[in-house]
Amino acid sequence: MNNDNFLTCPVYSNRFKEQEAECIKYPYDKKDKNVPNDIYFCGNCGVGIAYPPLSKKQLEELYFNGEYWDDSKIQLITPNSFPGQYVLSKSRWDFFKNGIKNNIKKSWSILDVGAGHGFYGMIAADDKDIDVVEYCAIEADKALKESLAKTWNKNNFKTKLEIYDSTEKIDKKYDLIVLSHILEHVLDPKSFLENVSTYLNDGGTLLLGVPNKDYLFKADVFPHLFFFSKKSIEILMESIELNVKSICFYGKDAQKAKKDNIFAYCVEVFFYKARRIIPKAFLIKFYAWRLKAFYENNNGTWMRALAEKR
């Protein structure tokens, strides 16, 4: 990148030159793809921008043509099959419940954009404190969609399930919208948030989750396009008429996460390989401890935000 090239902040929309921004190398541990070389940070809001950016065509190939997802296997989705994903979903549900405990409605409808395994919906549907009447999962991966439908039917949840591959097929609004580790993957975060928020009822809640400084501890952050700071999330949400209620950080210390304990790592490998025969309760406790998923930490590896539509 030469000095004549400009970057555009996705939050403020201001343009700035290379020499005006802090820059670090884009962590990537393979050599077989065209990936960004650097991360440039906006001096106003602190958001990191991957450069050169991925094209729309590259992203479509990743997310819709099977490069990013393994869409060949349909299976029952259980905590023992995917313990890490289950624990993180449970911790996000608890974050939501704690954030709205003084304003619990009689019933809730949930739109989960980028639902993945759908654990968030299953945990919500099984909750005894909150009546979740509908869970709508937006997921592009064919096997995940079929696996979720199969698992939902087997569990006989009373909550209505709908599954779509995009929000374009939705014709209603919801009380809660979940965006977990989605925003860092889209080309235009502000436009994406604006569009998604149109499906939120007035007074409804948006739950957002993004990595926090994962470039500090991950050897490979591909295909992340943006690296959000607390300030950038606050500004982004307020700019589209969402009132931020809380922003918290969870997980291991991002500054120290790269220096992992070898013994703990080996134990995790063992637990994962033996996960299908380990009792669920014990497995979940281990992963909760290992990931520090429920541990609030100002330097944690995950940022979570709750906002309300005006």
Low-confidence ranges of the chain (pLDDT < 70): 1-5, 32, 64-72
Contact criterion met (CB below 8 Å) for 286 and 292: no
Q: What are the pLDDT digits (tens) for 91-124?
A: 999 999 999 887 777 799 999 999 999 999 999 9
Q: Tell me, what's the pLDDT at 20?
A: 78
Residue ranges of the alpha helices (H) in the chain? 56-64, 83-99, 119-125, 142-155, 189-197, 230-239, 262-273, 280-291
Q: Tell me, what's the pLDDT at 1?
A: 45
For the entire predicted model, the pTM comes to: 0.92
Q: What are the pLDDT digits (tens) for 148-192?
A: 999 999 999 999 999 999 999 999 999 999 999 999 999 999 999
- Which residues have C-beta within 8 Å of that of residue 59, sequence separation ≥ 6? 185, 187, 223
Whole-angstrom distance, CA of residue 299 vs CA of residue 310:
30
Kindly report the CATH class assigned to 6-309.
alpha beta
Burial class (CB in 10 A: 0-12, 13-18, 19+), 306: buried
